[in-house]
């Protein structure tokens, strides 16, 4: 357990196994919100915030409550409820304590409950047997990867919007083709030796 392994986890989750382009988690918001650059950046910020906290809480819950009690199989139910509650609490806390951040994140905060990336990261961390610090790091790295992907796609889409496309490709198909090309680019990170 040293600093290099944490950096490897961040690079691995953010670039090599990018949560959107490689693992296909959080596709709904990736395709839906990437229409506007500003919205994508806000959503990215909210996702970094929530995923990091959620993976910390999920890790503690699993290590100190679920595992000692032998309730491994309950992890899906517990995690989804904890995430839903957590998002609510974070929202209320931010509203009270730092209205500026709350306003910047806006409606993207509650949207994250159903973002499958949050539950996905919590479950993968547990499967990989990460300890608390590794869980938080991998959550943070994953969220960074999500933000990179959605901001890049938003940039590409703002260019696509100005172009005259063949009819059938307009809308969802061209966005997915752009995502495919991004995914090919991200495959290049796979050759990083980790």
Partner 1 sequence: MKQYIERLWNGLVKENPVLVLMLGMCPALAVSTQAANGIGMGLSTLAVLVLSNFVISCLRKVIPDQVRLPAYIVIVASLVTVTELLIEAYLPSLYETLGIYIPLIVVNCIILGRAEAYANKHTPLLSIMDGIGMGLGFTAALTIAGAIRELLGAGSVFGFRLLPESFGMTIFIQPPGAFLVFALIIAIMNAIGIKTRQRKLVESGCDGNCALCSAVCETRDTDPAAEAEQKGGAEA
By CB under 8 A, name the one of 6, 39, 82, 101 that touches partner 1.
39
By CB under 8 A, name the one of 8, 27, 61, 151 that touches partner 1.
27
Q: What angle, 0 to 180 degrees and rounded to 10, lies between the N-to-C axes of helices 172-187 and 132-160?
A: 130
DSSP code per residue over 141-188 = HHHHHHHHHHHHHHHHHHHHTTS---GGGTTHHHHHHHHHHHHHHHHG
**Residue in this structure with the two tokens 């609490």, named with its chain if needed:** 89
Name the strand (E) or helix (H) holding 5.
helix 3-11
Minimum separation from the CB atom of position 49 to partner 1 (A): 16
Cα separation, 45 vs 109, in Å, equals 9
Rule CB under 8 A: say whether 194 interacts with partner 1: no
H helix runs in 62-171, sequence order: 75-97, 99-105, 108-111, 116-127, 132-160
By CB under 8 A, name the one of 7, 89, 92, 169 that touches partner 1.
169
Rule CB under 8 A: say whether 32 interacts with partner 1: yes
By CB under 8 A, name the one of 84, 133, 156, 160 that touches partner 1.
84
CB of 118 within 8 A of CB of 83? Answer: yes
Site for partner 1 in 104-123 (CB under 8 A): 106-108, 110-111, 113-116, 119-120, 123
Site for partner 1 in 54-83 (CB under 8 A): 73-77, 80-81
Q: Which tokens belong to 74?
A: 């309950």
Rule CB under 8 A: say whether 37 interacts with partner 1: no
By CB under 8 A, name the one of 6, 35, 61, 133 that touches partner 1.
35
Question: Would you tell me which residues interact with partner 1 (CB under 8 A)?
Answer: 21-29, 31-33, 35-36, 38-39, 73-77, 80-81, 84, 103, 106-108, 110-111, 113-116, 119-120, 123-124, 127, 167-177, 179-181, 183-184, 187
């Amino acid at each position: 357990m040293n600093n290099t392994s944490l950096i490897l986890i961040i690079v691995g989750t953010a670039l090599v196994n990018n949560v959107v382009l490689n693992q296909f988690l959080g596709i709904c918001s990736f395709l839906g919100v990437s229409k506007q650059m500003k919205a994508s950046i806000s959503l990215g910020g909210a996702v970094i915030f929530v995923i990091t906290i959620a993976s910390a809480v999920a890790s503690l819950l699993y290590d100190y409550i679920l595992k000692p009690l032998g309730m491994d199989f309950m992890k899906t139910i517990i995690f989804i409820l904890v995430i839903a509650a957590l998002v609510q609490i974070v929202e209320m806390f931010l509203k009270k304590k730092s209205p500026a951040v709350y306003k910047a994140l806006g409606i993207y905060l509650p949207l994250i409950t159903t973002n499958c990336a949050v539950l996905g990261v919590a479950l993968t961390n547990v499967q990989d047997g990460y300890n608390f610090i590794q869980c938080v790091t991998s959550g943070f790295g994953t969220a960074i990867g999500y933000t990179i992907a959605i901001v890049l796609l938003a940039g590409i889409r703002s260019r696509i919007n100005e172009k005259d496309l063949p009819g059938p490709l307009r809308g969802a198909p061209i966005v997915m083709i752009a995502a495919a090309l991004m995914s090919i680019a991200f495959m290049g990170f796979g050759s990083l030796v980790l």
